[in-house]
Amino acid sequence: MKKRSSLVAKFIIGFLIMGIAICGVTTARGYTQYKSYIEKKYNDIAYDIAQIFESYMTEEERVLYMNAVEGYCMGTVSEEELEGIKATSEYQKTGKLLHSLREATEANDIFLVYTNPEVIMSYEEAGAENWKPLTYVFDCYMVEELKFDLGHKGGFNPEFIADIAEVMKTGKQVNNYFISESEFGYNTSAVYPVIVDGVVKGIIGVEIPMATLKTALNEYIVNAVVATVAIVVVFIAIFMGYMYKNMIAPIHLIAEEAEKFVDNNAEISDKLDIVRTKDEIQKLSESVLKMEIGIKEYIANITKITAEKERIGAELNVAKQIQADLLPSIFPAFPGRSEFDIFASMNPAKEVGGDFYDFFMVNEDHLVFLIADVSGKGVPAALFMVIAKTLIKNQVLKGEEPSAVFEAVNNQLCENNKEGMFVTAWMGMLEVSTGNLTYVNAGHNPPAIKGENGGFRYLTCLPGFVLAGLEGIPYKQESIQLHKGDSIFLYTDGVTDTIDMQEEMYGEDRLELVLNTYKEEAPEVILKEVKKELGKFAGEAEQFDDVTMLCMKYIG
């Protein structure tokens, strides 16, 4: 048996998941905002340092230094001239101030370089090893051995190519931050444009470590998680106490009493009345109690109905047997007669059906055979079938012609036919000595006849009106000459209307094909083969109509 978890456990797990989700979302959101705030603060400090460094130089000094380095890059200024500038007191003073500024601000590096956007964007052409777009004017790197001197060339992080080129083109700082992580820690950089004579000639770069950022973020995460967990735990404890008293305990009682109802042979519970939550749970308890009362009454009723159904089933089986006994079912039907062979069968869709067939000798030289289909199915059709069959046989035995038989039976069936039932029928009277067949059709399917052409074909004739449809209807009889070896096949629409699993009908063409396949066989064989083909065609599809067939072969 599968183990079931309690409602309390499900609530606790659900609240824990919700708490973890709230904690995660809140912490992640706060972490992002706090990190962004700290990064902005550090970045603002870096730009402040860059502006301070710019203020250390006069306009003339800035123009002198930038033009000299530009000339050096263009080949118009020699290395000796750069050394001369480097030896000046102004240059050395600015370098000392820059060194003091770096130490005071604890920056990793502060530098001034000459460059231009075209050189910066040449990374892919030059390659990583040869790409050195920066020519240094000042450098105050924290590692003395790695500092660049005046006129030295260097590079920068390739991730910032587009942003630095944008600074060079516009003369304005970009909106995003230059954040990097290296062997010297987690750093932010400022890229500040240096403008000479209205043209951006270089940039001031400041890199400062965000030493406290990760520590602060880690502390924030720990504090946020601890606070959120504490709040969630307290909330769960308080809320679960409320939930247990007002929801879980009553539901548990309802479930327990419902289980007892099942185990104790539908014994109605006496504890469901104590649930007084004044909400949907109380309504559920009242509904369960009402359901228990209803189920107990239903069980009593269904027991009575089952007994009645068994009685009706037994009676229907008797009725089925009676109906079968009413139809000729012993074959060969006329063992003393060699002039003809006849065989028939009926398979009702329900216990009893509305189809019927009959054949009998009127006298020594006349054989009557017929097939009929009563509208509807089940017991009403079966009762109407018994009446119709009896009336037809009685009228025939009076010695009347087939047309007169149908006219009399039609009028008799119309009397008190309040249910509006009707019968389609086809009847033939064979003069055995001559093979002359007189027949009449009351709205029934045309039979198939095997004549001189050697194959079965449908007998073309105008069908008359159905029996019991309208009083006073005349019926026309016709005749056909049968020869030695001719056969006639009668059937109800349950044969041609048989459907398969795709709801496709069997149809007259398939019936004609199977009849011609076995046209030389005896009537019994023909009926069995047709029935076999119908079964193959229908497959698993349910039979919805009675299937009745009759075949007569004239031997002569």
Determine contact, residues 112/101, Cβ cutoff 8 Å: no
Cβ atoms < 10 Å from Cβ of 543: 16
pTM of the predicted model as reported, rounded to 2 decimal places: 0.50
Q: Measured between alpha carbons, how far is 491 from 382 in angstroms, rounded to an integer?
A: 18
Q: What pLDDT is stored for residue 172 in this prediction? A: 86
| Rg from Cα positions in the chain | 54
Q: What pLDDT is stored for residue 118 in this prediction? A: 86
Q: What pLDDT is stored for residue 216 in this prediction? A: 64
Order the strands of the 355-363 sheet from edge to edge.
Answer: 355-363, 366-374, 423-431, 436-442, 477-481
Q: What are the φ/ψ torsions at residue 288 (nearest 5 degrees)?
A: -65, -40
| Three-class SS state of 71 | helix
Q: What pLDDT is stored for residue 1 in this prediction? A: 43
Pick the closest to residue 327 from 369, 270, 290, 288 (CA basis): 369
* Tens place of pLDDT per residue across the chain (556 aa): 445 556 667 667 777 787 778 777 777 777 777 777 777 888 888 889 989 988 999 999 989 998 999 999 898 999 899 999 999 999 999 999 999 998 998 888 899 999 888 888 888 787 777 888 899 999 998 888 888 999 899 888 888 888 888 888 888 887 777 777 766 667 888 888 998 888 898 999 888 887 655 666 677 677 777 777 778 777 777 877 777 777 777 777 777 777 777 777 667 666 666 677 777 777 777 777 777 777 777 777 887 777 777 766 665 666 666 666 778 988 898 998 999 999 999 888 876 777 899 999 999 999 999 999 998 777 888 888 889 999 999 999 999 999 999 999 999 999 988 888 999 999 999 999 999 999 999 999 999 999 877 899 999 888 899 999 999 999 999 999 999 999 999 999 999 999 999 999 999 999 999 999 999 999 999 999 999 999 999 998 888 888 999 999 999 8
What residue spans define the domains of the chain? 58-211, 331-554
Strand runs labelled E in 300-417: 340-347, 355-363, 366-374
Pick the closest to residue 499 from 549, 553, 539 (CA basis): 539
Q: Measured between alpha carbons, how far is 129 from 366 in angstroms, rounded to an integer?
A: 120
Arch. (CATH architecture) of 58-211: 2-Layer Sandwich (3.30)
Determine contact, residues 39/177, Cβ cutoff 8 Å: yes
Q: Is 243 exposed, middle or buried (0-12, 13-18, 19+ CB in 10 A)?
A: middle
Q: Measured between alpha carbons, how far is 7 from 288 in angstroms, rounded to an integer?
A: 19
Q: Domain 331-554: give its CATH superfamily.
A: PPM-type phosphatase domain (3.60.40.10)
Give CA 17 to chain center in angstroms: 29
Q: What pLDDT is stored for residue 516 in this prediction? A: 94
